[in-house]
């Protein structure tokens, strides 16, 4: 059995299928780890959702910011982006089943010394704390007040972590770290609007994985989200968003031996 971690698909279904052929993926014996952002921007988000859902236990998926955006839109969020490509999902006959499946996915997964999230982990969060905080959001997504949670999810505040945060502010901060973060301070303040390459960090900030003291050290974080970073490896990090939807590549890494497989967009 092999485990292949794959970067942001974002509706690039044909490239996803080509990559599965390249790695000779066998759903009967192999597993996929998908780092989130299955949908949006690309043209075939509906096919991606159906394909991944039908893989069942062969695919382990964490939610990305674009997946959460789809859940918000499906719940009635009206501020649609001009470049979203979700119409075919929202008009599909199996829309409700797909949205229900997506809404029960986790925001973090840990196994065998790896921790998978979409965007990143605060330097002050251990693996155990990250999983616990992710579980709070997962409970909100599947609970009786999920509509309220989704309707108030967008926002960049608060921008600094405190264990005393409560309610929607606490949940929003957790979501922003796990699905949107790129830069932060060593003590957990976020710069949510900064999107450039890692050498263009705002003053006083650094890429989240560059902090000298990391409470999650000892695990390798597997993530995506940061297309300006691209496919990137260092001790404790496998970053997989190589910008397929922007004309780059779709990347898979076999976790057992670090072998890399890519297809061009």
User: Which residues lie across from 183 on neighbouring strands?
Assistant: 207
Task: Assign domain 3-264 to its CATH superfamily.
Answer: Metallo-dependent phosphatases (3.60.21.10)
Q: Give the 3-state secondary structure of residue 239.
A: strand
Mean pLDDT over each residue of the chain, to the nearest integer: 95
In the predicted model, what is the mean pLDDT of residues 239-264? 97
Over the stretch 49-95, which tens digit does the pLDDT of each residue have? Answer: 999 999 999 999 999 999 999 999 999 986 777 788 999 999 999 99
**Has this prediction a pTM greater than 0.85?**
yes
User: 197 versus 186: which is more confidently predicted?
Assistant: 197
User: Parallel, antiparallel, or unpaired: how do β-strands 220-223 and 237-239 relate?
Assistant: parallel
Least confident residue range of 56-65, 118-127, 194-203: 194-203
Predicted local confidence at residue 127, as pLDDT: 98
| Residue 29 to residue 79: CA distance in whole angstroms | 42
Q: Give the 3-state secondary structure of residue 91.
A: coil
Q: How far apart, in Å, do the first and last CA atoms of the chain sit?
A: 28
Number of H helices and E strands in the chain, helices first, is 8, 12
- In the predicted model, is pLDDT for residue 47 greater than 80? yes
Over the stretch 167-182, which tens digit does the pLDDT of each residue have? Answer: 999 999 999 999 999 9
Predicted local confidence at residue 204, as pLDDT: 87
In the predicted model, what is the mean pLDDT of residues 109-125? 97
Q: How confident is the model at residue 195 (pLDDT cuts 50, 70, 90)?
A: confident
Predicted local confidence at residue 196, as pLDDT: 85
Q: So where are the chain's domains?
A: 3-264
In the predicted model, what is the mean pLDDT of residues 132-144? 97
Least confident residue range of 25-29, 53-57, 76-80, 109-113: 76-80
């Amino acid at each position: 059995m092999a485990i292949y971690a794959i970067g942001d698909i974002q509706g690039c279904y044909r490239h996803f299928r080509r990559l599965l052929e390249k790695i000779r993926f066998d759903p009967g014996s192999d597993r996929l780890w998908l780092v989130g952002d299955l949908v949006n921007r690309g043209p075939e988000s509906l096919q991606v959702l159906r394909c991944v859902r039908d893989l069942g236990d062969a695919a382990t998926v964490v939610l990305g910011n674009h997946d959460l955006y789809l859940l918000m839109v499906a719940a009635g969020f009206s501020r649609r982006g001009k470049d979203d490509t979700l119409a075919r999902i929202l008009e599909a006959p199996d829309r409700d089943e797909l949205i229900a499946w997506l809404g029960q996915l986790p925001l973090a997964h840990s196994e065998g010394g790896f921790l998978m999230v979409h965007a990143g982990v605060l330097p002050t969060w251990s693996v155990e704390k990250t999983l616990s905080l992710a579980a709070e959001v997962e409970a909100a997504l599947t609970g009786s007040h999920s509509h309220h949670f989704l309707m108030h999810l967008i926002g960049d505040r608060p921008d600094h972590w405190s264990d005393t945060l409560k309610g929607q502010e606490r949940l929003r901060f957790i979501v922003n770290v796990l699905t949107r973060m790129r830069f932060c301070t060593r003590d957990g303040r976020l710069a949510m609007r900064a999107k450039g390459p890692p050498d263009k960090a705002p003053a006083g900030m650094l890429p989240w994985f560059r902090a000298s003291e990391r409470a999650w050290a000892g695990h390798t974080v597997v993530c995506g989200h940061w297309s300006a970073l691209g496919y990137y490896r260092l001790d404790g990090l496998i970053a997989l968003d190589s910008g397929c939807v922007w004309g780059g590549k779709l990347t898979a890494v076999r976790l057992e031996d670090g072998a890399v497989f890519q297809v061009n967009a």
